[in-house]
Every structure is written in structure tokens, then in C-alpha cells.
A and B are shown apart, each in its own frame.
Chain A
Amino acid sequence: MIEVARHLAGGFVDLLQAANLLALGVGLVVGMLVAVLPGLTLVMGVVLALPFTYGMPVTPSIILLTAMYISGTYGGAITSILFRIPGEPMDVPLLWDGWSMAHAGEPARALGWTLFAALTGGLITATVMVTLAVPFAKVALTFDSPEYFSIVLFGFTSVVTLGGGSLANALISLFLGMLIATVGVDEIYGVDRFTLGIDMMRDGIGYLPVMVGAYGVGEVLVRLEQGFASAPMAGGGAIKTRIPSLAEAWKIRGTFARSSLVGVICGIIPGAGATIASFVAYGVEGQYGPRRRELGKGIPEGIVAPQVASTASVGGHMVPLLTLGIPGSGATAVILGAFLLHGVQPGPQIFTTQSALVYAIFASTFAAVIGMGLLGYFAIRPLVKVLFLPEAIVSVFVIMFCLVGAYSEHNNLTDLWMIVVFGVVGYLFERYRFPIAPMVLGCILGPIAETSFLTSMISYQNDWTIFFTRPVSGVVLALAAVALLLPFYSRLRRKPDLAAKTP
């Protein structure tokens, strides 16, 4: 342990070099900007930054990409909370409590909680990464496709938690999302599905146009219908950033602990990631949180859980990358690419061959988390002010950012048409009280669920009991079953409180 501390101190000294600090600062700012743009995903941002690292030495390159990755898990929260448009898929769960709290007149408090959560999640994950990297990576290796499937299934059960209004509508929305995700060439057997013989459809429909369209464009259409006449946010005058006090945070320490654990675990498992972590953490809160009944109405727990988990997953992802050379997510795959381009081979030997580099990365993770906190703190004030601009003008910018972001993702005009189509779908959903979130969830998690299910069946000779007999998978499935059945049970027991809310 002393050895680790000594190496880490050396890492901080390395970090103080001008090039490394510059990379850290640039990474934090760019990562946050990329995450704020709804159409442009964090992974794409890291990919776009990769070519700039070709000419740089290896340490600042990795610091730049890691800093982007960390601050990117926070930036998208801002648009979720303020505009009800998730900047990243992982920010979808923030729409419920985050936006509700902001809408109830406390945008700065909601943002303060997110910031505090990101900061905590980040520090926890950095600590875990430094101290437990090797043993945790070993645990992650025991996860196979049945476990991936069970975890994703658990993510789906958050629909029940989040459905709020009508469970039937939530399920219709979820299955529609899964159906949309099946369009195109299937992952395992290469069969065309619902392509109607059109080449463009073989390409499939990504979750990005669905998410950006249904939330971004859909929201603007709803406001357009109301003639952009909605009253300015209630109590908006008090735009002082409110970081929760330690006493407030201590009250919900259970939420912090549960969500950090979910985040780190989902991060370490290859194939899961920040988005799944975020949904699962929210689902866990809906099941086991002491205030689960109030979830979705704008309570801090609902903001903290997904945000802590998203940020905590980053350190989790770095663990298998550094210790085994296995990238667990899109962003870490790009970081692996950066390592390889500089002739560094991650793996168990990296701790001995490149220990200075590894500890500089560790040190930069701590610094990036704190830098993200500072940046976020000062960004909140001007961002909240945007809410007081005329709605029509904000809407124009929202549409523009949605389209520009999505276009730069694939340089493909078809995506923009898809966004418009799903904008109309989102508007109709709002209009007829169907929740949008389950559809987006279905689009994101549906393909992962399908692939991991089929791979499990192939791998275990079509033995479906494998999902129940493997311990981790079995436990997660049992939790999912509880999550599914509990609402029915409690509805039977007491008169339901059906405050309609359509997330």
C-alpha cells in the first residue's frame, strides 16, 4: 500500500508537467462540451480527439482522452436537467428526478447534486482503480454472456420503476424500442430484418437518432404547439449554485454506496458500461432505496444514483484495459488504440514496464475528477441563465445542436431524417401520454440483450437453465424478478398513487 502511495505521489509530480496539465485542461473542457451536445456522443468525441494525439507523447495523449471520458460523463447531465434533453444515453435516467427538481424551481440544486454525485463517483472509482485494479479485473473475467444478459434484463426492469403512469404504456413503448432496434442485419446470423428491401434500412436504426429525435426534437414540437408560451421556470430567480452540504449528502449515503458499487461493477464488466450502470443504479434505487416511492418526483436520490454510477463506471472500464489489455467500452477501445499507436502494450506487465505512465494516468484521474468539479461549478451559473432566454430561440439552438451533433457522428444525412421522424414520434408519445424513456431504453439495451442471449444459448448448447444456475446471473435475475413483481404486489396491498408522469 505504501508502495502504491509512493508511486501515486510520483504520478502527481509527473502530472505537474506543462504538457500533461494542458492535456488535462483541454480534455476536461472538450469532454464536457461534447457531452452537452445531444447528438454527439462521448465515444465519438474521444474518437475525434484521437488523431490529435498522434503527434503527442504517450502520457499527455492518454491523459487527454481519459479526462475527456471523465468529464463527458457529467456534461450530458446539464442538458437533461435543464432542457429535458439527454446529452448522452447514460443521462436518460436523470430526466425523471433531475428535470422534475429543476422544473419545480430548483435547477441549481439539481445541478449541484449531479455535480456532487459525479465528484463522489469519480473519486471512489479512482480510489478503487488505484488500490484494487488487479483483483477486480480478475473478478470481471468470470462474467460471461449469461451475466451480461441478466444485467441488461435488470436494466429493463427499471422500466417498471420508471413507468410511473401506465405500466401498459411503458411496456408498449419499451417493445416498440426493441422492435426499432431489430431493423437491419442481425448481429449473429446476418439475416435481414424489417429492411423492406431498402438498402438504407439494412444499415439499421441506431439509438442515437431515436434518443435525440424523441427527446430533443419532440420536446421542441411540444413547445411549438403551445406557441412557446410556457412560463419561465418557477422560482428561477434564485440561480445560485447549490452544492449539497455534507450533512445532506450523508443522509443518502446508502444511495452513494449502492450506486458506486453498481457503477464500478458495470464498468469492469466488458460489454456493460456507463449507460447500463446508470439505468441499473436507478433501478436499484427504485427497488431498495428507502424513499423509492418518491422516486421520479424530483428527489436527490434519483439524481445521485445514475450520476454516481455513470462516473464510477469510468474507472471500472480503465481496470480491464490497463491490467488485461481488454477494452470494455467504445471509449476505452479508442484509448487502447492510443496506447498501441504509441507502442505501449497494456496488460499485467504494464505495471512494471510502464509504471510511471500508469501512475501518471491514475494521478490524472484524481485531478480530472476534481477539475471536472470546478469546471462544472462555474459552468452551472451561465448555463442556468440560458433558461431565461426566449423559448423559441433556445428551441432553435436545441434543434441545431441535435442535427449538427448527429451529423458529425456518422456524416450521414439519413440519420437527420431519422431524427425528424422520431421527433414526430416523440411528440405523439407526449401527446398521448406514452413515456419515451422505455423506447430509448429498448433501442439501447435491446441489441445488447439479444446478442448476449443468443451467444449464451450457442455457448451453452441451448441450455436455458444456464441463466439461473450460474451464481451471479442467477442472483441478478432474482433481483430482476423482484423488481418486476414488487409493483404488482404493492399495488395489490395499497391504493395506488397514480400521479401521472410521463418521463
Chain B
Amino acid sequence: MRACIRAVALPALAFVAWYSGITTAQDKYPSRPIEFVVPWGPGGGADQVARKLGQLLEAELKVSLPVINVAGATGQTGHAKLISANADGYTIEVMTGDTFALLAEPNPKIKLADFTPLGILIQQASAFFVAENSAMKTWADVEAAARTRALKVAVTGFSSPDDITVNYFAARGLKLSSVPYAKPGERYTSIVGGHADLLYEQAGDVRSLVDSKQIRPVIFFYGGKVNDFPGIPTSTSLGHNITLPQFRVVLVKAGTDPARVKLLSDAIARAAQTADFKAYLKEQYADEASFVPAQEVLPYMQRWLEEAKKVMAAIPVKK
């Protein structure tokens, strides 16, 4: 009997040892490409940061990170893709402040509990831009015009910081209204082609349009000074308590194995410190100290959300 047990047990043990060896090998993460969801169209800021980071992470993680653009609904369509994927660390997403602002709404569909942040990569001040050939040259011109006639502002989508900012001024007597263009190409055409009067955007995203003198910023929404554009006023310097800086954070679905989360967030932290990435930030007119490590992201998001909620509460008529 004992011999019999031994005859079965020994090979069984050997098998278990061999099999667990195999499963560890299979568990090696990452062992296949990681899908990088961009909830905005190709060519925009979110797309650029994802492609840049993807390139740097490929060197770190030794797998490819194909970028998938799933535009629409202020980034909710793409976010839905992350949420419907498995929590295995093989789908990550870059969420922008635009989508995050939806959390300030009364019954947000996006939930903080649905995702785990891996790090904020870039923070940029947003601005209102006018076309260079517009009659309005400065913020004072815009204010004067908006008191007498309706001005259209090209934004990414409803309930985004763009839209909140527009409503903030609308509540203060300026006749501004949002027109959503989810695809960056169409949004930029609208301002250059004169279909919209103002464009809400981050300077880095439209650098080619700014450098080629097709559009110019008239006001930055920022707490400090914007070094690259010294002559342009900031919202806070004019007494407007609204900044809502654009930020882009990388997420993985909640419930992902903490070891994988750590591996990813560490790789992202290393990528953010490369000279290549720093040069990218400069090119984007972004804050040099943009990077926020994984563990500090949630408090940052909470503070941001409080500002958005405060601004929204101060807007009397909600559309």
C-alpha cells in the first residue's frame, strides 16, 4: 500500500513542481503587448503623450504598447474600453482632465473605484485662443465682444473642464457657448476656419498653429505665471478663480494584481525621468515638474475635483 502511495505521490509531486514552474513562467508579466487606450482621436495631446510614453515603456517592459484611439463622449467611450477589459494589466489607458471632470457631475458614470492610477505624466495650463485674423486680439477684446454678441467656443465635449470654464464665464454675463468637437482635427479647423470664435486648448497641443501665427492665446487658466507667454494674462491675475489645469494620468483597471501595478508604475516613473520625456514636456509648453507618482495621484485628483465642484456650484444656471 505504502509503495503504491509512493508510486502515485512521487510523480504527482514531481508534476506539481514542474507545473508550478510552468505557471510562474506563464505568469511572467508582461509577456504580450499591452493595449494602450487613448480615449481621444489621433493627433491630439492625449494621443501624443501615449505614443511618447508607449515608446519609452517599450524599452522598459520589452513588450510593445499599441495605441488604440477610441474617441467620443468626453473620453467615456475609451474609458468604457478599459472597464470592459480584464483586470490583468494588459490594458492601460491615458485619462485626461476632460474625462476626469465628469466626476464633478451629480451622478457620474465614471467611478474612482473602477481604476488604479499609475502616475500623472503631464500638467499643462489651458488657454482660450483666438484666430490671428480675428478682430479680437486680447482678452479685453473678447470680454467686450461677448457682452454684445454670442461667441462660440470649440471644446472637446460637454461637462469637460473646457465646458465648465465656458459656463463659468457665461454665468458672469459673457455670451459664450460650447460647441463640442471630439476630433482634434475638426476642433482646430473650426478656429482656423472661423467657425468658432474661441478655442479652449493647451498651448502645447496646438504648438504648430501657435508657432505658425495662425492662432494666439488671450488668457491662460493657471495659478502661477506661464513662462512661455509672459504678455498673456492668467485667470487668477484677473481675479477669476478658475484654473482646472489639464493633466494626463495613466490608469489600469481596479483589481489588477498589485505586483503588476507596481511594475507598471515603476516603469512609468523611470520613463518620466528620461531626458527624452523632459524634452517632450518642454516642447509641450508643460510644467517641468509635471510628474506625479502613483501614490500621490489620488490626493491630487481629489483637490482638482474640489476646485471643479466649487466652480460648478458657483454657476447659477446649469444647462
Residues of A within 8 A of B (CB): 47-48, 50-51, 54, 140-145, 148, 184-190, 192, 199-200, 202-204, 270-271, 320, 324-328, 330, 333-334, 336-337, 340-341, 343, 345-349, 410-411, 451, 455, 458-459, 461
Contact = CB atoms under 8 A, between A and B. Distances in A.
A154 B45 CA distance: 33
Contacts of A461: 150
18 contacts: A144-B189, A186-B73, A190-B158, A270-B183, A270-B185, A320-B189, A324-B188, A324-B209, A326-B188, A327-B43, A333-B184, A334-B42, A336-B43, A345-B208, A347-B209, A347-B212, A348-B214, A410-B35
A190 B74 contact: yes
A305 B84 CA distance: 41
Nearest to A408: B66
B77 interface: yes
A340 B44 CA distance: 11
A324 B192 contact: yes
A451 B185 contact: no
B70 to A, nearest CB: 8
A188 B180 contact: yes
A325 B209 contact: yes
Contacts of B208: 325, 345-347
B162 interface: no
A452 B55 CA distance: 34
B73 A349 contact: no
B52 to A, nearest CB: 8
A455 B157 CA distance: 10
B80 interface: yes
A184 B80 contact: yes
A151 to B, nearest CB: 13
B264 interface: no
A46 to B, nearest CB: 10
Given A202-B83, A203-B81, A347-B208, 14 more contacts: A51-B58, A140-B193, A185-B73, A185-B80, A192-B109, A199-B83, A203-B70, A270-B183, A271-B186, A327-B185, A337-B47, A345-B208, A349-B212, A458-B180
B111 to A, nearest CB: 13
B200 to A, nearest CB: 15
B51 interface: yes
Interface string B209-223: 101101000000000
Interface in B178-207: 178-186, 188-190, 192-196, 207
B244 interface: no
A124 to B, nearest CB: 24
B142 interface: no
Given A50-B51, A270-B186, A324-B192, A187 B77 contact: yes
B103 interface: no
Contacts of B179: 455, 458-459
